[in-house]
Chains A and B, each alone.
Chain A
Amino acid sequence: MKLAVVDYVILATYFAFVIGIGWMLRKKVSTSGDFLLSGRSVPVWITSLAFIAANLGAQELIGMAASGAKYGIMTAHFYWVGAIPAMLFMGIFMMPFYYGSKARSVPEYLKMRFDEKTRGFNAFTFAVMTVFSSGISMYALGLLLHLVLGWDFNMCVLASAAIVLAYTYLGGLTSAIYNEVLQFFLIVAGFSPLAILACAKAGGWQGIVSRLPANMTHSWHYMGSASENPMGVELFGMVAGLGFVLSFGYWCTNFLVVQRAMAADSMSAARRTPLIGTIPKMFLPFIVILPGIAAVALAQMTGAGGAHLYNLPLKPDGIHTDFDQVLTTLMARFYPAGLLGVGLTGLMASFMSGMAGNVTAFNTVFTYDIYQSYIRKSAPDSHYLMVGRMTTIVGVALSIGAAYVARSYNNIMDLLQFVFGFVNAPLFATFLLGMFWKRTTAHGAFTGLVSGTVAASLTWGLTVAEGKGGVFGTVHTFPSVMAQNFWIAIFAFGTCFLVTVLVSMMSAARPEKELEGLVYGLTKIRHDEGAKWWQRPAPLAIGVSVMVILLNIWFA
Chain B
Amino acid sequence: MDLRVPSGCFFVILGAILAAMGVLTPGLRAPLTDVNVNLYSGLSMLVFGGFLLLMARRAARK
Contact (Cβ within 8 A) A339 B1: no
Q: List A contacts of B14 (CB < 8 A).
A: 10, 13, 189, 342
Interface centre among A9, A28, A197 (most CB of B within 10 A): A197
Q: List B contacts of A17 (CB < 8 A).
A: 6, 9-10
Instruction: Select one of A13, A28, A337 contacting B21, CB under 8 A.
Output: A337
**How many residues of chain B are within 8 Å of chain A by beta carbon?**
25
Contact (Cβ within 8 A) A181 B30: no
Contact (Cβ within 8 A) A332 B1: no
Q: Which of A1-23 contact B (CB under 8 A)?
A: 6, 9-10, 13-14, 17, 20-21
Contact (Cβ within 8 A) B38 A338: yes
Q: List A contacts of B18 (CB < 8 A).
A: 338-339, 342
Q: List A contacts of B56 (CB < 8 A).
A: none
B26-43 interface bits toward A, Cβ cutoff 8 Å, 1 = contact, 0 = none: 001111110001100110
A336 within 8 A of B: yes
Q: How far, in angstroms, from A201 to B31 measured CA to CA in the complex?
A: 12
Q: How far, in angstroms, from A6 to B3 measured CA to CA in the complex?
A: 26
Q: List B contacts of A335 (CB < 8 A).
A: 30, 33, 37
Contact (Cβ within 8 A) A336 B28: yes
State whether A332 and B11 are in contact (beta carbons under 8 Å apart), knowing that A24-B6, A181-B3, A339-B38 are contacts in the complex.
Answer: no
Contact (Cβ within 8 A) B45 A21: no
A124 within 8 A of B: no
Contact (Cβ within 8 A) B6 A197: no
Instruction: Select one of A25, A334, A338 contacting B32, CB under 8 A.
Output: A334
Least Cβ distance of A416 to chain B in Å?
34
Contact (Cβ within 8 A) A181 B32: no
Interface centre among A9, A14, A17, A338 (most CB of B within 10 A): A338
Least Cβ distance of A428 to chain B in Å?
32
Least Cβ distance of A250 to chain B in Å?
26
Contact (Cβ within 8 A) B6 A338: no
Contact (Cβ within 8 A) B10 A197: no
Q: List A contacts of B29 (CB < 8 A).
A: 336
Q: List A contacts of B3 (CB < 8 A).
A: 21, 46, 178, 181-182
A185 within 8 A of B: yes
Contact (Cβ within 8 A) B33 A336: yes
Chain A residue with Cβ nearest B19: A338
A193 within 8 A of B: yes
Would you mind naming 19 contact pairs between A and B with Cβ atoms under 8 Å apart?
A14-B10, A17-B6, A20-B6, A21-B1, A24-B1, A28-B1, A178-B1, A185-B48, A189-B11, A193-B41, A197-B37, A333-B30, A333-B31, A334-B33, A334-B37, A335-B37, A336-B29, A336-B38, A342-B14
Q: How far, in angstroms, from A13 to B49 measured CA to CA in the complex?
A: 15
A220 within 8 A of B: no
Least Cβ distance of A38 to chain B in Å?
12
A310 within 8 A of B: yes
State whether A197 and B32 are in contact (beta carbons under 8 Å apart), knowing that A339-B18, A342-B41 are contacts in the complex.
Answer: yes
Least Cβ distance of B54 to chain A in Å?
16
A282 within 8 A of B: no
Q: How far, in angstroms, from A46 to B5 measured CA to CA in the complex?
A: 13
Q: List A contacts of B45 (CB < 8 A).
A: 189
Contact (Cβ within 8 A) A185 B37: no
A309 within 8 A of B: yes
Q: How far, in angstroms, from A508 to B14 measured CA to CA in the complex?
A: 62
Chain A residue with Cβ nearest B30: A336
Q: List B contacts of A334 (CB < 8 A).
A: 30-33, 37
Chain A residue with Cβ nearest B13: A13
Instruction: Select one of B1, B13, B21, B48 contacting A338, CB under 8 A.
Output: B21
Least Cβ distance of B42 to chain A in Å?
8
Contact (Cβ within 8 A) B41 A181: no
Q: How far, in angstroms, from A473 to B13 measured CA to CA in the complex?
A: 60
Contact (Cβ within 8 A) A9 B30: no
Q: How far, in angstroms, from A337 to B21 measured CA to CA in the complex?
A: 9
Q: List B contacts of A332 (CB < 8 A).
A: 30
Q: Which 9 A-B pairs have the closest CB atoms?
A: A338-B21, A338-B38, A336-B30, A333-B32, A336-B28, A17-B10, A182-B7, A178-B3, A338-B18
